[in-house]
Structure 1
């Protein structure tokens, strides 16, 4: 049993600022720190820290930021045998965080756009693996791996973040789609679904919507399952959704019922909000 994550790895530069900058404004912050990040790497680290055996497939550059981007993966014991090293610079994110823990993020994908589905061999895709994907790598490669994993019996989970344009046939091949409210609205507009529940009907797959401090809800055939958030005083919400997805898949991988996996993921995401940085 294992969790295989195909996705992004970034170096995050986090700026502590008194307020998030408005368009055209310059805000002087208190300092800057570097952390490992990227949605794929964040989710892989979360799953590994929750006890899963995790494989990560992605791409970094031949630069100093690559060490930053992979530091937490290495520390968590993630298998990096399928990590590509390219001549394109490592992905980098600039993150402003205000005193309330709210963030504003700009990302240069860099080497993440060089990630390829064929970095994952067929033997790694089987009924005993949960495959977790996001949208910070090329959508066509995500779609290719979704179909390959599904054909070989893997459990396939996609976090449609950011809400990139993925082929409808790939969406319908999923076992579980995880979105936040914004991502659900964007996808709903594309599919003509007026609400999150409508995504379940439009796609024919289970849809889980994360709602921040309102918790999360799973729309599945015949009913909806809600779990509450754990109330905390946030320090930095960066990566909380990634933490949720990683721990959710770790729980599913070890056989937890979906409600139990959701509750554990909700608790982990709350903890993440009380710590600075993403994967860290």
Structure 2
């Protein structure tokens, strides 16, 4: 039997087209960079950068951008065997505007329907999902059928008495993906009952539990069934509460923010790495915060995910390593990011 994966993620994939001019409206941008995108995909990339064997379950269009996605996954070392084409729908494209330090509007092009919402239960490799050391799914996967049923089926298949792996529910709240956002909570409740870890920012926790105060939200997530609740508080850092009473609340790493959109996915990949390493809770949170800060100081998302040596450098008090993608200087009239702006691990692409 093949060796189980360290991490399998399930959810969004697409192409990010990010402006190569910061601090200006999208209407004035004339040059874009093309990057692999989608939250679940970025988490798989982030964990792979830290040495983990990863794969992603998702779908693309049967088009040139779909070809690009497979190429990029291979370059990042993420197994693409469960990334399959859908002839009826195009590969999603996402644009953003970049106004550091804390304004990054996103524009999703996922109509008439995103292929990653066409994941069917019958197509899942349930044995691989059950055997992986960590399974990561997202709230977006619950917004439409057949992805909703497939996601819940994968969770139920892992939730067995002899299951020793970790199941992470990334709350990943995107109201524009739901026909009626009020319908979300029952599906979030179903997913939480099968998960061992829940991760979300304050808005996402409120959708899932009705609670927005960090400690109340963490307690509500634990009551819903998880063993570990991770509440991302943006500039106030991150709170983690375990069912056994262990807690950790750590501040963000101060950085000059360039683009906060990938910080949450870097945080997620580093969270996977730390939990799989068996580290104590505060160390995991500090490591994940540092990974998120590095990406917040860079332009892109997937290609900006840090290597272990880079995270170690930041944790040791060193500077954030240079971005692998050149960051243009903002126009003089654009708002600039103040030195020491805390990176928000609550922002995700």
Q: Normalising TM by the smaller chain, what interval?
A: 0.7 to 0.9
Report whether the alignment pairs 1:239 with 2:262: yes
Tell me the residue number matched to 1:219: 241
Q: In 2, distance between residues paired with 1:39 and 1:113?
A: 14
Q: In 2, distance between residues paired with 1:100 and 1:30?
A: 22
Tell me the residue number matched to 1:90: 91
Alignment of 1:1-280 (within 5 A): 2-15=6-19, 16=21, 18-19=23-24, 27-29=27-29, 31-87=31-87, 88-100=89-101, 102-109=103-110, 110-126=114-130, 129-137=133-141, 138-151=147-160, 153=163, 154-162=165-173, 165=184, 166-189=187-210, 195-205=216-226, 206-221=228-243, 222-280=245-303
CA offset at residue 144 of structure 1? 1.6
CA offset at residue 259 of structure 1? 2.7
Contact 2:188 2:208 survives alignment (8 Å): no
Deviations 1:22-63 (A, max 9, x none): xxxx74235322211001110110010011010211101111
SS at match of 1:186: helix
Count of aligned pairs: 274
Q: In 2, distance between residues paired with 1:195 and 1:228?
A: 19
SS at match of 2:159: helix
Contact 1:200 1:220 survives alignment (8 Å): no
Q: Output the aligned Cα RMSD.
A: 2.5
SS at match of 1:239: helix
The structure with the greater share of residues assigned to strand is 1
CA offset at residue 275 of structure 1? 1.2
Q: In 1, distance between residues paired with 2:59 and 2:13?
A: 7
Deviations 1:144-186 (A, max 9, x none): 2111122261310010102572252321221000001111122
CA offset at residue 19 of structure 1? 4.9
SS at match of 1:51: coil
SS at match of 2:105: strand
Deviations 1:124-148 (A, max 9, x none): 1346510011133333322221111
Taking a change above 3 Å as real, the CA distance of residues 117 and 240 of structure 1, as seen in their structure-2 partners, is: farther
Contact 1:72 1:279 survives alignment (8 Å): no
TM-score by length of 1: 0.88
Q: In 2, distance between residues paired with 1:43 and 1:229?
A: 19
Q: In 2, distance between residues paired with 1:72 and 1:247?
A: 20
Taking a change above 3 Å as real, the CA distance of residues 189 and 53 of structure 1, as seen in their structure-2 partners, is: same
Q: In 2, distance between residues paired with 1:255 and 1:117?
A: 32
TM-score by length of 2: 0.71
Tell me the residue number matched to 1:23: none
After the TM superposition, which of the residue ranges 194-203 and 103-112 deviates more from structure 2? 194-203
After the TM superposition, which of the residue ranges 1-10 and 121-130 deviates more from structure 2? 121-130
Contact 2:262 2:295 survives alignment (8 Å): yes
Q: Structure 2: 5+ residue runs without aligned partners?
A: 142-146, 179-183, 304-349
